[in-house]
Amino acid sequence: MTESLVQVREVSKHFQKGKETVEVLHNLSLDIPAGDFMALMGPSGSGKTTLLNLLGGLDKPTTGGVSVSGRAIDQLSGNELAAWRAHHVGFVFQFYNLLPVLTAARNVELPLLLTDLSAAQRKQHVATALSVVGLADRAGHYPRELSGGQEQRVAIARAIVSDPTLLLCDEPTGDLDRETATEILTLLQALNRDHGKTIVMVTHDPQAAEYARRTLHLDKGTLLEAQAA
């Protein structure tokens, strides 16, 4: 781990629920070095997913700033953020969020449609990404023809296919059985270790968090202690 890839500075996030203002994150600061694999734990409503959304440029802080690779993403416009996400972030969701009408390969290809790569180059990148997650032989299958674990692997392949700086995983094993969850976590670990991907993973599961290099705990919008895995 070297210099800080992600810098979160005094970030607060408020949501308006009717007349009531709910503070989800409170004056939170955080550094994530390049090559880190960080687990983010905490009870429901502690602000884990909100923080992940801020890191991925899906939402903006009410106060404070978030920068990734030195770029203040909280200052970007909607279109700039979209372009930034396309090049710098890969997302893995709890429920995979694959498009059911597309094959595994076409799902993985989606982020590449936003690049200048030719169809042949895109095909090559997709094949590589599917090989990395061990699903090269399932390229032509539709999500409904895959198991939950395989769907999540396709989702991971989609997240890494454009070689993003940051991989953000929101409960990636939350919908999987223990054995499959272990496979997915091992895969994430390998991506961090062998491919140098910086990963932030939100999880409820302490066993899942053990695969990370370190774990941060959030409670009521505030970071508690940091601990190494």
Q: Contact positions toward another protein, by CB under 8 A?
A: 53, 56, 58-59, 78-79, 82-87, 91, 93, 95, 97, 99-102, 106, 110-111, 113-114, 119, 158
Give min distance, CB of 80 to another protein, in A: 9
Q: Rounded to 5 degrees, what are φ and ψ at 132?
A: -60, -40
CB 200 within 8 A of CB 31: no
**What would the two tokens of residue 29 be?**
């600061």
Give min distance, CB of 209 to another protein, in A: 23
Name the residue nearer to another protein (CB basis): 37 or 96. Answer: 96
Name the residue nearer to another protein (CB basis): 101 or 228. Answer: 101
The b-or-e profile of 152-191 (16+ CB within 10 A means b, else e) is bbbbbbbbbbbebbbbbbbbbbbbbeeebbbbbbebbbeb
Name the residue nearer to another protein (CB basis): 22 or 229. Answer: 22
Name the residue nearer to another protein (CB basis): 146 or 211. Answer: 146
Total length of the chain:
229
Give min distance, CB of 169 to another protein, in A: 13
